């Protein structure tokens, strides 16, 4: 009989988590989770933010060694105002600088293009640069 096979699995999960779900993540330390934080089609703003559920759960997720949190932004196929997208990234970064427990490890860019164009490349390159600058408290911020 051969040695047991252990596989490591990665998972992307939107933040629709209850305390029970977070306990389930903690019970599987061999699984790496990328948890997408999406308070309101992006970081959310007043009066919706701060939202007590997110403010409570983000630090609990960030405390788990097998979790990376990603702030959600929408690209609208790189047609969204670049300034608005960069402002969303700045908002996530400011929250992490104000309270490290509320920080994110990177940014999840939804609705990106599937065909190359110079315009889309410039848009996405600007996002990459903004993430590196705004999430300067993260050693190697993730963009996906």
Domain assignments of the chain as residue spans, ordered by start: 10-136
- The pLDDT score that the predictor gives to residue 12 is 61
> Per residue in 128-141, pLDDT tens?
999 999 999 998 99
Query: What is the total residue count of the chain?
Result: 144
Spatial distance between the Cα atoms of 28 and 65, rounded to a whole number of angstroms: 11
pLDDT in tens, 22-72: 888 899 999 898 888 988 889 988 887 888 888 998 999 999 999 999 999
Residues 130/108/49/129 CA torsion (nearest 10 deg): 0
What residue ranges in 23-86 does DSSP mark as E strands?
A: 32-37, 67-74
Work out the angle at residue 17's Cα, subtended by the Cα atoms of residues 14 and 21, and round it to the nearest 5 degrees.
Answer: 115
């Amino acid at each position: 009989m051969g040695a047991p096979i252990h596989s490591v699995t990665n998972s992307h999960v939107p933040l629709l988590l209850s305390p029970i779900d977070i306990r389930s993540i903690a019970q599987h330390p061999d699984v790496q989770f990328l948890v997408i934080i999406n308070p309101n089609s992006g970081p959310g703003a007043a009066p919706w933010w701060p939202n007590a559920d997110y403010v409570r759960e983000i630090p609990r997720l960030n405390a788990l060694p097998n979790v990376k949190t990603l702030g959600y932004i929408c690209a609208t196929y790189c047609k969204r105002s670049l300034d608005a997208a960069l402002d969303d990234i700045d908002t996530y970064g400011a929250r992490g600088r104000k309270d490290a427990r509320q920080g994110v490890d990177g940014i999840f860019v939804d609705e990106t293009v599937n065909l190359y164009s110079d315009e889309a490349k410039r848009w996405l390159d600007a996002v990459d640069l903004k993430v590196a600058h705004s999430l300067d408290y993260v050693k190697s911020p993730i963009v996906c």
